[in-house]
Structure 1
């Protein structure tokens, strides 16, 4: 697909062809070393997602169409 789009648009593929096998596969990694050596504490997904959405809104990059805004509002209600 990327090759086709590249030919169609005349632009380089978003992902280099030789990296496709790395980009489109599942990776499972451990944060244990970061926890042990750096004291890393992972943020729960929902908390991180809320913080990310708030950051985008601060920058004025929030949802632009009414349907997206409604979905975000219904899905990510502040508690």
Structure 2
């Protein structure tokens, strides 16, 4: 997943950089926008990964609680 995000960051940065150069922006401005876009995508990927891990943990704890209720209702 992280590799896909990195590829997306490079592709989107290259596209934005190409358009900016075509419109007459300086190389350093293009480089700054490219690095900011890549950083934002990478941080977004890390945040989504952490959120997915949190959701998985919540699901497993709910499943364990349900199993405990079933065992209690059976008298174990």
* TM-score, normalised via structure 2 length: 0.26
Q: Which has the larger radius of gyration?
A: 2
Of Structure 1 and Structure 2, the greater helix share is in 2
Higher relative contact order (Cα pairs below 8 Å, separated by 6+ residues): 2
